[in-house]
Amino acid sequence: FFDSLQDQFDNLEKHTQWGIDVLEKYIKFVKERAEIELSYAKQLRNLSKKYQPKKNSKEEEEYRYTSTKAFLATLNEMNDYAGQHEVISENMTSLITGELTRYVQELKQERKSHFHDGRKAQQHIETCWKQLEASKKRFERDCKEADRAQQYFEKMDADINVTKADVEKARQQAQLRHQMAEDSKAEYSSTLQKFNSEQHDHFYTHIPSIFQKIQEMEERRIVRIGESMKTFAEVDRQVIPIIGKCLDEITKAAESIDHKNDSQMVIEAFKSGFEPPGDVDFEDFTQPMKRTVSESSLSNSRGDGKSETKFGSKSKGKLWPFIKKNKLMSLLTSPHQPPPPPPASASPSAVPNGPQSPKQQKEPLSHRFNEFMTSKPKIHCFRSLKRGGAGPEDFSNLPPEQRRKKLQQKVDELNKDIQKEMDQRDALTKMKDVYIKNPQMGDAASVDHRLAELGQNIEKLRLEVQKFEGWLAEVEGRLPARTEQARRQSGLYEAQNTSAVNSCAQDRESPDGSYTEEQSQETEMKVPAMDFDDEFDDEEPLPTIGTCKALYTFEGQNEGTISVAEGEMLYVIEEDKGDGWTRIRRNEDEEGYVPTSYVEVYLDKNAKGA
């Protein structure tokens, strides 16, 4: 077919070069596609890694719910999904880019050889043509010279004035020219026949053969690029089943989400084991006698606290935290005794807006609830426990249900440690036996010291297990009977503590440092210090409702109070509720109560509740 393009040799050369350019362009396209796949896979892996839970962190504990487990499964499947895109990139690089790059190099060499042969054939036929033209021109020139010599001879022969010798010389010259013309004619004829033969071979043998090779080369290139395009699609098609499997696993993980199970896990995680408080009795302020308080009320009096039973009794006053955290915070930290009078006053009653007298019998319900809730350590002590030190070894700072789970977890951990030590001891014992039987392998006495250490470690761990099992038995004896299902569920999930108090109030410390509760009650009050800190750390601070100016210097040495200097300006966050104390704030970390008579308050008219 290409032999019909013999007169289009240059255009054919340009076309084949364009074909190679197209192939190189396709190679570049596949290479960039492979880079995109690899980059996409890397981004998917980074995304999956970014949202993976950190090991040994609180975030990892949150992945026990079915919804978060499904999300974790999705992240893992995204890793496999990214791996398939890496496979696409690798296959495209090896099966298409690499193969085509080698093929292009071979194609360039083959094309160069074919067109070199074509140019060589053209140069040969052109040389033959030049030889033919030269022979033709020489024959033409010799013929013209012979004609001129003949005409000169005839002219000399007709002239009577010319000597016979000149005529003979002209005749010989004419014969010589005729002979040269005949020789040129014979040479021209031979050259012409040779050229015609070469020209026939050129156009019917050499050039068609070269063009046929070029055509075959071009067709192979076209077939090769088509096969590469099929491979391009097949590489994607090969990973579709695996990608589909990844998506099926994500769907399966989503279908495994159990909202009922997650809700039950939340219940188990935050259940404290406390019972709801009883009803609050009516307080009749019209009677001169001291108001009576129900044993189950939140407002237990100080005297009632002496007759309260042990931990777990229903007659105890329990905190049921259905109140706002800021309000609870203020109840837990506000002082309980009347504030001191200002320096210039003789008595608290002489000061306007002064506090109530300490002899006054009636107290607001908030004060009684405050007495019930106040215990040592205070809230700031809870924070120091969490930030600086650890809780009691027997977890007595936790509610009963949470304490039981922590103790059970500790026993399980110790048993695992014992098993590890025993496994090491067994391995060393076997090694010692081998050394005894084969002394050349090692000294049997070299492991005796390590065996003795392992024995001591196992004995210590067993004593620890006995100690924690004793505390566990004590806690389980105090807890009310639980159903088998409740036992299973509480054993499966580690619970978090709520903002509740374990039992009745411990001995309370007043702002002046005196204790107002029986010391025997101290062991009955277990405060979940670290969990209170968790409850309050994330709460928004109380908004400011105004400002105040300190009229006198106040040394806030008691818990719940704050020191101020005369003339200092501060923010008011809670006004006097009738107890003689105003809650103020200096900055984000410093706030507390000061006597109302020590400050001059300027409430903001737009503040809520002002």
Tens digits of residue pLDDT in 422-467 = 998 899 888 888 888 888 878 878 888 888 889 999 999 999 999 8
pLDDT digits (tens, 9 = 90+) for 263-282: 988 888 787 777 778 888 88
Tell me which of 476, 505, 535 is where a domain ends.
476
Residue 105 lies in a domain: yes
Q: Do 472 and 550 have their domain in common?
A: no
Express each pLDDT in 172-222 by its tens digit.
988 998 999 999 999 999 999 999 999 899 888 888 888 889 989 999 999
Higher pLDDT, 289 or 256: 256
pLDDT one-digit tens code per residue, 77-92: 999 999 999 999 999 9
Mean pLDDT in residue range 282-309:
50
Please give the span between the terminal C-alpha atoms of the chain, in angstroms, as a whole number.
Answer: 101
Report pLDDT for 336. Answer: 52
Q: Report the C-alpha gap between 301 and 281 in whole angstroms.
A: 12
Contact 394, 538 (CB under 8 A): no
Chain-wide mean pLDDT for the chain?
A: 75
Per the structure, the complete domain to which residue 419 belongs is given by 400-476
456 versus 2: the higher-pLDDT residue is: 456
The secondary element (H helix, E strand) that includes residue 584 is: strand 581-585
Kind and range of the H or E run holding 547: strand 546-550
Q: Categorize the per-residue pLDDT at 11 as very low, low, confident or very high, splitting at 50, 70 and 90.
A: confident
Question: 509 or 230: which carries more pLDDT confidence?
Answer: 230
> Rounded to whole angstroms, what are the CA distances from 24 to 36, 89, 90, 191, 302?
18, 18, 19, 48, 94
Q: Contact, 582 vs 599, CB < 8 A?
A: yes
pLDDT over 90 (residue 35) = yes
pLDDT over 70 (residue 549): yes
Looking at the fold, whether 456 and 580 belong to one and the same domain comes out as: no
Assigned domain for 54 exists: yes
Q: Which two tokens stand for residue 190?
A: 């031979």
Domain shared by 465 and 583, yes or no: no
Residue whose tokens read 């010799």: 142
pLDDT tens across 41-67, in order? 999 999 999 998 887 777 777 788 899
* Whether residues 582 and 464 fall in one domain: no
- According to DSSP, the residues that pair with 583 across neighbouring strands are 574, 593
pLDDT value at position 490? 41
Does a structural domain hold residue 218?
yes
Boundary (domain end) residue, out of 216, 231, 262: 262
Mark whether 201 and 60 lie in a shared domain: yes
Q: Which of 255-269, 302-316, 587-601 has the lowest mean pLDDT?
A: 302-316
- Say if 445 falls within a structural domain: yes
Q: How many CB atoms lie within 10 A of CB 265?
A: 18
Mean pLDDT of 532-554: 71
Q: Are residues 589 and 470 in the same domain?
A: no
In which element (H, E) is residue 609 found? none
Q: Are residues 436 and 576 in the same domain?
A: no
The larger pLDDT score, comparing residue 320 to residue 29, is at 29
Lowest-pLDDT range of 147-161, 465-479, 488-502, 576-590: 488-502
Least confident range from 201-210, 307-316, 472-481, 569-578: namely 307-316
| Residue 28 confidence class, pLDDT cut points 50, 70, 90 | very high
Q: Is the pLDDT of residue 537 over 90?
A: no
Residue 357, in any domain of the structure: no
Answer yes or no: do 425 and 558 share one domain.
no
180: in domain = yes
Q: Which amino acid does the sequence have at 352?
A: P
Using 50, 70 and 90 to split pLDDT, how confident is the model at 36? Answer: very high
Mean pLDDT of 580-596: 87
pLDDT surpasses 90 at 556? no
Read off the DSSP letter of residue 350: G
Task: Evaluate whether 89 touches 232 at the Cβ level (below 8 Å).
Answer: no
User: E strand or H helix at 315, and its extent?
Assistant: none
Count the domains in the chain: 3
What CATH number does residue 551 fall under? 2.30.30.40
For residue 357, pLDDT beyond 90:
no
Q: Are residues 452 and 567 in the same domain?
A: no
Indicate the pLDDT class of residue 358, thresholds 50, 70 and 90. Answer: very low
Cα–Cα distance measured from residue 574 to residue 567, given in angstroms and rounded to the nearest whole number: 20
Q: How confident is the model at residue 306, as a pLDDT? A: 38
d(CA 401, CA 478) in angstroms, rounded, equals 10
The percent helix, strand, coil of the chain (3-state, each to 5) is: 65, 5, 30
The answer to whether residues 603 and 572 touch, using CB atoms and an 8 Å cutoff, is: yes
So what's the pLDDT on residue 450?
A: 86
Distance, CA of 109 to CA of 20 (rounded, Å): 11
pLDDT exceeds cutoff 70 at 516: no
562 and 444 inside one domain: no
Residue 155 lies in a domain: yes
State the amino acid at position 244 in one-letter form. Answer: G
Output the pLDDT for position 4: 55
Which pLDDT does position 423 carry in this prediction?
Answer: 92
Structure tokens at 146: 């012979």
Q: Is residue 27 part of a domain?
A: yes
Look up tokens 């004060």; give the residue: 367
pLDDT at 305 over 50: no
Edge-to-edge strand order for the sheet containing 581-585?
591-595, 581-585, 569-574, 546-550, 599-603
Cα(439)–Cα(432) distance, rounded to whole angstroms? Answer: 10
Q: In this predicted structure, what is the pLDDT of residue 504?
A: 31
Buried (b) or exposed (e) across 594-605, using 16+ Cβ within 10 A?
bbbbbbebeeee
Do residues 294 and 278 lie in contact, with contact meaning Cβ atoms separated by under 8 Å? yes
Which of 453, 476, 499 is the endpoint of a domain?
476
CATH assignment at residue 196: 1.20.1270.60
Q: What is the pLDDT of residue 6?
A: 56
pLDDT-derived band of residue 479, with 50, 70 and 90 as boundaries? low
**% the chain with pLDDT above 90:** 35
465 and 555 share a domain? no
pLDDT at 244 over 70: yes
Residues 198 and 119 both lie in one domain: yes
